Amino acid sequence: MENDAFQLINQPEQPHKQTKAGPPIELQGLLLALTALSKRFVIALSNLFSLCCVASLWYLLYTILPDPTSHQLVGAGGYGVFILILELIRKRA
C-alpha cells in the first residue's frame, strides 16, 4: 500500500548565510572567562598590598623586639597607625 499523499521532493540546497557579525561562540566564552579572571586578579593584588603592609610592620616589630628603645617603639607605633589609616582609606574608596 503506497500512499501518494506524501512524496519526497528534491530541492536544491541553498548556501547557508552567516548572519552573525560577532566573533564565534568559543571566542566569546574565552573572553568572558578572561574578564572574570582579570577581575579576580585585581582583587588578589589589592589583598596582596594589605598583606605586604602587615608583613612589613611585623618584620619591623620583630627586628626591634630583642632590645627596643622608646624611640623605636614610638616609631613602630606610628608606622602601625599609618598602615591602619591607609587601610581604612583604601576600604572606604
pLDDT digits (tens, 9 = 90+) for 15-44: 766 665 677 888 888 889 999 999 899 888
Q: pLDDT-based confidence at 4, cuts 50/70/90?
A: low
Q: Is the pLDDT of residue 2 over 80?
A: no
Measured on CA atoms in the order 42, 43, 44, 45, is the torsion positive or negative? Answer: positive
Q: Where are the domains of the chain?
A: 48-93
- Helix, strand, coil percentages, rounded to 5, for the chain: 70, 0, 30
Residue type, 88: L
Residue-level length of the chain: 93
Chain segment 59-89, per-residue pLDDT in tens: 999 999 889 999 999 999 999 999 999 999 9
